Amino acid sequence: MYPRDGAPAGPEETGAKAGVLGPGLSLLQQVGCWHLNLSSWSNKVPVVQHPHHVHPLTPLITYSNEHFTPGNPPPHLQTDVDPKTGIPRPPHPPDISPYYPLSPGTVGQIPHPLGWLVPQQGQPVYPITTGGFRHPYPTALTVNASMSSLLSSRFPPHMVPPHHSLHTTGIPHPAIVTPNVKQESSHSDISSLDSSKQSDGKKVEEKKKEVHIKKPLNAFMLYMKEMRAKVVAECTLKESAAINQILGRRWHALSREEQAKYYELARKERQLHMQLYPGWSARDNYAANQQGKRKKRKREKQQAESNERREYFPNPCLSLPPITDLSAPKKCRARFGLDQQNNWCGPCRRKKKCIRYIQGEGSCASPPSTDGSLLDSPPSSPSSVVPSPSSKESKSQTEQMQPLSLTMKPAHQPLHHPHLLAGPPPPSLVQLENSAAAASKTPAASSHNGALEHRDVSSSRQPGSSVASSMARPSASLCHSHSLLPSTAPQPLSLVTKSIE
């Protein structure tokens, strides 16, 4: 069940390969990728939402691929934004290349989709601007439907991403959001005019608090942004939740390379974000203190309750001792270290329970050479293991095979229904997805179809299995389910859900 987590797990490493995507992706696609990224930055709403409410002291900042020379930044780029205050301040974009997985050579050879982001001659900049896009959508670069749909869906008619070759004014920084509250306090604009000197400082401070810096988009979010429109178009769905479910499945169905692409994008976004807001912390977004308190209280309550429950309804599964044994190797963190998180398994990277540890504990995944080799080498091409055609095909197959699994997600234990693999090919993906979405509304109806979920991705949060599942890995899978999960695995449809806590 490794595949997924490992793959994405290697944004860095995988990214290096994926970055080169060259082999797998056409140039057009790469261009498309560029668009994706660009739009991902530019399409965020703040401007659209409350453009005029932005305080003068909080200049709009944009991500842009505008030509930029480190030593000769445009005047308007001289400012950066203080992470906590949102107050403009001199930018000093650190060189992100050190972190960038792609070797310079590689980048040079093949135009990286993120080329504009890669500090080759210039560094990514976020020009401060007050204007929007002046140019209509660059049709010349509209290389694929997905991108066009993406863009059209993400940009208001009047706001279209600038052609990278154009010297545009750029767009407001997507991550900076002025809370609605500000609208009322928009008087700040006015008051700032009539305000006295004494209030200036205050205003600034107020502004600090007002500004909300959004989190950078993660890989999946980026993927969602790109694909949502597509899905919406293909399906007749409107509900975001349903769309998301489909997107989630598609995401898992993506090949490693494809996912890696998004991980890479996300990584860039984070880097960029951190450059822009050096001290930015997700924690700053909200009233951390209050939340923390609330959380703590809630937790305490839950703990108390669960304790009581367990006394009355002891759960055998939960009471089971950790599968780990003393011979088990270190977990990802200890094994690879903090500086090699790309080698960590997904959960570890998410600060979740290490799956390799559990799996590897036994004889299955532990040895990196055997089955584990696959596990331990995320970036390795799936094709090497998958006898079937291309990873893409197997992927799509995988996707089709478990289109109605939405309601099965909660399953914690891997489900293996090898016999179902031989099932007749589904009519069409879209149809299935539609039905899946529909099924989500009527869980009962989809229950029988849920069996189609042959992927052991079952545990939705455990992406590390889709690929492996597509290629029956009886040895490892069965080994795990039988030898390691005696008490839980037997459950056919895994009734063990999150609720059982």
Question: Among residue numbers 357 through 376, which ones bind DNA (CB under 7 A)?
Answer: 357-358
The pair of three-digit structure tokens given for residue 144, joined into one six-digit string: 């694929």
Please, which of residues 448-467 interact with DNA by CB under 7 A? 460-461, 463
For 213-260, the DSSP string reads: EPPPP-HHHHHHHHHHHHHHHHS----HHHHHHHHHHHHHHS-HHHHH
Which listed range, 23-31, 76-84, 221-229, 396-404, lies at the site for DNA (CB under 7 A)? Answer: 221-229
Tell me how far apart the alpha carbons of residues 110 and 397 are, in angstroms, rounded to a whole number.
Answer: 30
Instruction: Pick the closer one to DNA by CB: 165 or 306.
Output: 306
Among residues 8, 127, 414, 426, the one that binds DNA under rule CB under 7 A? 8
The structure tokens 């190797």 sit at 329
Least distance from DNA to the Cβ atom of residue 111, Å: 24
Instruction: Pick the closer one to DNA by CB: 68 or 251.
Output: 251
Which listed range, 101-109, 187-195, 208-216, 411-419, lies at the site for DNA (CB under 7 A)? Answer: 208-216
The answer to the question of residue 50 lying near DNA (CB under 7 A) is no
Instruction: Pick the closer one to DNA by CB: 65 or 245.
Output: 245
Instruction: Pick the closer one to DNA by CB: 62 or 110.
Output: 62
Least distance from DNA to the Cβ atom of residue 395, Å: 14
Q: Count CB atoms within 10 A of the CB of residue 312.
A: 6
The answer to the question of residue 224 lying near DNA (CB under 7 A) is yes
Q: Is 444 helix (H, G, I), strand (E, B) or coil?
A: helix
Which listed range, 19-27, 59-67, 311-319, 329-337, lies at the site for DNA (CB under 7 A)? Answer: 329-337
The answer to the question of residue 219 lying near DNA (CB under 7 A) is yes
The answer to the question of residue 354 lying near DNA (CB under 7 A) is yes
Tell me how far apart the alpha carbons of residues 276 and 84 are, in angstroms, rounded to a whole number.
Answer: 11
Least distance from DNA to the Cβ atom of residue 477, Å: 19
The answer to the question of residue 476 lying near DNA (CB under 7 A) is no
Which listed range, 107-115, 156-164, 353-361, 424-432, lies at the site for DNA (CB under 7 A)? Answer: 353-361
The answer to the question of residue 180 lying near DNA (CB under 7 A) is no
Instruction: Pick the closer one to DNA by CB: 200 or 300.
Output: 300
Among residues 10, 11, 73, 132, the one that binds DNA under rule CB under 7 A? 11
Largest CA distance in the chain: 77
The amino acid at 81: V
The backbone torsions φ and ψ at residue 497, rounded to the nearest 5 degrees and listed phi first, read -120, 180
| x/- map, 406-425, DNA, by CB under 7 A | x--x----------------
Instruction: Pick the closer one to DNA by CB: 110 or 375.
Output: 375
Tell me how far apart the alpha carbons of residues 254 and 258 are, in angstroms, rounded to a whole number.
Answer: 6
Least distance from DNA to the Cβ atom of residue 78, Å: 26
Using CB atoms within 10 Å of the CB of residue 418, give its burial: 0 to 12 exposed, 13 to 18 middle, 19+ buried: exposed
CB of 501 closer than 8 Å to CB of 306: yes
The answer to the question of residue 34 lying near DNA (CB under 7 A) is no
Instruction: Pick the closer one to DNA by CB: 110 or 270.
Output: 270
Which listed range, 53-61, 74-82, 260-268, 475-483, lies at the site for DNA (CB under 7 A)? Answer: 260-268
Among residues 22, 111, 248, 362, the one that binds DNA under rule CB under 7 A? 248
Among residues 191, 218, 396, 483, the one that binds DNA under rule CB under 7 A? 218
CB-based contacts of 184, cutoff 8 Å, min separation 6: none
CB-based contacts of 302, cutoff 8 Å, min separation 6: none
Please, which of residues 70-129 interact with DNA by CB under 7 A? none
To the nearest 10 degrees (0 to 180), the angle between helices 197-210 and 187-194 is 160
Least distance from DNA to the Cβ atom of residue 298, Å: 5
CB-based contacts of 203, cutoff 8 Å, min separation 6: 55, 57, 188, 191, 192, 195
CB of 156 closer than 8 Å to CB of 136: no
The secondary structure of residue 481, as a DSSP letter, is I
Q: Count CB atoms within 10 A of the CB of residue 59.
A: 21
Instruction: Pick the closer one to DNA by CB: 110 or 219.
Output: 219
Least distance from DNA to the Cβ atom of residue 306, Å: 8
Please, which of residues 264-323 interact with DNA by CB under 7 A? 266-267, 270, 281-283, 285-286, 288, 291-292, 294-296, 298-299, 302-303
CB of 399 closer than 8 Å to CB of 247: no
Residue ranges in 120-179 assigned as alpha helix (H): 145-154
